Amino acid sequence: MAETGYKPMKDSGFIPILPKTLEEIGLTRNGLAVEAKVRPASITDLYNGETRTVHFETLQTIIDTLNRLGFEKGLSRRFTIEDIFTYDARTKKSSE
């Protein structure tokens, strides 16, 4: 993989929440990738906190897909970006 100069999201203070969200909705990483038409590697990187960059369009597609699938499963709540990841500066690894 080419080096971008960016740290993985988990080293930048972003905490992956996607594992809990997928468990709640009863969906696998691959299932989300197929439903959202997003590369499986992109979903896996978000899931594991290894993403170095992410496009807003990709996030929008994932959130829209989670909401559609949640509705189809009878879930009443709406999914947001905080169901994919959150930010906590205290978890950020310092640059050396």
pTM score: 0.87
Exposed/middle/buried for 50, CB within 10 Å: 0-12, 13-18, 19+?
A: middle
Taken in order of first residue, the domains within the chain and their CATH numbers are 9-85 (1.10.260.40)
**pLDDT tens-digit readout, 3-47:** 567 888 888 899 999 999 999 999 999 999 999 999 999 999 999
